[in-house]
Amino acid sequence: MSRIETADVVVIGAGIIGAACAEALSAAGMRVLVVDRGAPAGGTTAGGEGNVLLSDKAPGPELDLAVASRRRWPELIESLRAELGDEVARVEWEPKGGLVVASDRDAMGPLSILAEAQRAVGVEAVDLTPGEARAMEPYLTEDIAGAVHYPGDAQLQPVLAATAMLAAVRARGGEVRGWTEARGLVFDGSGRVAGVRIGDETIGCGAVVNACGPWAGHFSVAAGAPIEVLPRRGMVLVTAPLPHVVGRKVYAADYVAAVASSHVDLQVSAVVESTATGTVLIGSSRQRVGFDEALQVEVLRRLARSAVKLFPVLAGVPVMRTYGGFRPYTPDHLPVIGEDPRFAGLWHASGHEGAGIGLAPATGRLLADLMCGREPEVDPARFRVDRPAVMAEVRT
Amino acid sequence: MRVRFDGVEVEAEEGQTVAGVLLAKGIRSWRTTRGGDRPRGLFCGIGVCFDCLVSVNGVPDVRACQRVVAEGDEIRTQAGAELPS
């Protein structure tokens, strides 16, 4: 394959968000170069669980984006299958549904209120008695006050999904270049983005998309247009493959509060699910520790304890490994999707925190719609770059 | 010392791992895969790959390369994924 010397759009970051943006842009006929300073889909995308969730979002802009994305995922996978074949499109898509469990009456109140609000905007959410919940998940603890079933929740393997979208970009004449760091932007006389500096080379392009995930803040500084995207760390435990123990995505009701919190301190709430190979993934933790990768045993202990509380059978099951990643966090918990008001041609798509896998296809489509001047399906106003929580001061 | 493997008594040395005992007996596979029912034994030998899993005293998913045998251990071939009994 020949190397691209100029592109319509250069996407910085080959994670799930960069891949989804590049897929949508190339579908619109643009020639796209995707660069990543590491391996494609090897950062945040490889450090999560593959959540495609509606259940953990209250009505508002993020839920609107999630609903559009949940509709889009199966369509997109189907179109990738038609375009690239079965092998590439096999991304372990499982529309398995989610079960949110309230451990006591105190947790049941807020969960019922959330479910009611979600139903009002069209999300399928079914209130269950403890007995009904246990009929769905027989290994679930008896010690619960109630649960809500969300048939719309789904799961996929994020690395496979990102690489499938990148394969489509290549098939449409684009290029994906790993181990290539973007160092900054080049502007034309009118102050518009005209290229990207990559090593000693400059790639001429009409637009640049900052899809660097938790490192989007770093790249925005290098680009001269800082935005406030910070890393929030999460850890996951992986059990040895088990017989069928956990059917759905099962999590404790306090997860929703942990997601929405802005605390610096460690937050742990149980999120338990099986993967296609039978391993059970146990999350979730959230911690603001910068880019510190040190393994913290206390976090793992708390994850294990919270999972055993939901599924007592897990107490006797060995943990095979643990992994973690940094989620891109914005101070107002909303993604940043749109053009930078400071430089025409600089776009951002980041800040999805732990929901980037689920929100990816609608994010890619929204960005492509805005860039192509098409009417977007989802209202972009709340994701705009030019909002006080996101626009960082230029630090000198 | 003596341990049992799939119900048969086997001689073992103090300090040997389960994998060491089985390999010394010429046994090279002691698990079947979950999907294709294929034989598995020692692969990495250093506790990383989780390929050499075996059931010991009713506890499944024990890494044969890491578990040091104890007198009277009941070692059993593991078929697919199992829950602790």
Asked if B83 and A318 come within 8 Å (Cβ–Cβ), the reply is no
Residue A241 forms part of a structural domain: yes
Q: What is the pLDDT of residue A3?
A: 80
Asked if A240 and B84 come within 8 Å (Cβ–Cβ), the reply is no
* Neighbour-count burial for A180-201, b at 16+ CB within 10 Å, e otherwise: bebeebeeeeeeebbbbebeee
In total, how many domains does chain A have? 2
Last residue of a domain, one of A283, A301, A329: A329
- Kindly give the pairing relationship between strand A193-198 and strand A182-187: antiparallel
Residue A86 forms part of a structural domain: no
CA neighbours within 13 Å on the CB side: how many for B81? 17
Residues A19 and A42 placed together within one structural domain of the fold = yes
Give the pLDDT confidence of A109-167 residue by residue, as tens digits.
999 999 999 999 999 999 999 999 999 999 999 999 999 999 999 999 999 999 999 99
CATH number, domain with residue A188: 3.50.50.60
A154/A56 Cα distance (integer angstroms): 12
A243 CB neighbours in chain B (<8 A) are 80-83
Beta strands in chain B (DSSP E): 2-5, 8-11, 31-32, 39-40, 53-56, 59-63, 74-76, 78-79
Residue A394 forms part of a structural domain: no
Asked if B50 and A317 come within 8 Å (Cβ–Cβ), the reply is no
- For residues B6 and B25, the answer to whether their CB atoms sit within 8 Å is no
Q: What is the pLDDT of residue A396?
A: 43
- For residues A226 and A392, the answer to whether their CB atoms sit within 8 Å is yes
Residues A258 and A222 placed together within one structural domain of the fold = no
Q: Looking at residue B65, what DSSP letter applies?
A: T
Residues A208 and A311 placed together within one structural domain of the fold = no
Q: Write out chain B's pLDDT in tens, 85 residues.
A: 999 999 999 999 999 999 999 999 999 999 988 888 899 999 999 999 999 999 999 999 999 999 999 999 999 998 888 888 7
Could you tell me the two tokens for A40? 């494609």
Residues A12 and A140 placed together within one structural domain of the fold = no
For A14, the 3-state DSSP assignment is coil
Q: Looking at residue A240, what DSSP letter applies?
A: P
**Which of A92, A239, A280, A317 should be substituted to probe chain B, the one whose Cβ sees the most B Cβ atoms within 10 Å?**
A317
Chain A closest-CA separation from residue B23 CA (Å): 23
pTM of whole model > 0.80? yes
Residues A314 and A165 placed together within one structural domain of the fold = no
Residues A312 and A237 placed together within one structural domain of the fold = yes
Residue A84 forms part of a structural domain: no
Helix, strand, coil percentages in chain A from 3-state DSSP, rounded to 5:
35, 25, 35
Residues A308 and A166 placed together within one structural domain of the fold = no
A245 interfacial to chain B (CB closer than 8 Å): yes
Domains of chain B from N-terminus onward: 2-78 (3.10.20.440)
Point out the residue among A277, A313, A320 whose CB comes nearest to the CB of B83: A313
Chain B closest-CA separation from residue A140 CA (Å): 15
Chain A closest-CA separation from residue B11 CA (Å): 28
Contacts 24+ apart (CB under 8 A), A303-306: A303/A235, A303/A236, A303/A237, A303/A268, A303/A270, A304/A237, A306/A252, A306/A268, A306/A269, A306/A270
User: For residue B24, how many other CB atoms are within 10 A of its CB?
Assistant: 13
Point out the residue among B50, B80, B84 whose CB comes nearest to the CB of A317: B84
Q: What is the pLDDT of residue A392?
A: 72
Asked if B50 and A240 come within 8 Å (Cβ–Cβ), the reply is yes
CATH number, domain with residue A310: 3.30.9.10
- For residues B51 and B44, the answer to whether their CB atoms sit within 8 Å is yes
B84 CB neighbours in chain A (<8 A) are 313, 316-317
A313 CB neighbours in chain B (<8 A) are 83-84
Residues A236 and A324 placed together within one structural domain of the fold = yes
Residue A351 forms part of a structural domain: yes
Give me the domain span that covers residue A377.
6-76+158-228+333-383
Residue A46 forms part of a structural domain: yes
A316: nearest CA in chain B? B84
Residues A200 and A286 placed together within one structural domain of the fold = no
B53 CB neighbours in chain A (<8 A) are 240
Residue A396 forms part of a structural domain: no
Last residue of a domain, one of A283, A314, A329: A329
Low-confidence residues of chain A, pLDDT below 50?
A: 396
A321: nearest CA in chain B? B48
Q: What is the pLDDT of residue A2?
A: 63
Residue A1 forms part of a structural domain: no
B59: nearest CA in chain A? A316
**Which of A237, A242, A313 should be substituted to probe chain B, the one whose Cβ sees the most B Cβ atoms within 10 Å?**
A242
- For residues B51 and B39, the answer to whether their CB atoms sit within 8 Å is no
A241 CB neighbours in chain B (<8 A) are 34, 81
Q: Which residue type does B66 have?
A: Q
Residues A51 and A183 placed together within one structural domain of the fold = yes
Residues A22 and A62 placed together within one structural domain of the fold = yes
Asked if A241 and B81 come within 8 Å (Cβ–Cβ), the reply is yes
Give the ipTM of the model, two decimals please: 0.82
Residues A185 and A248 placed together within one structural domain of the fold = no
Chain A closest-CA separation from residue B15 CA (Å): 22
- For residues B5 and B22, the answer to whether their CB atoms sit within 8 Å is yes
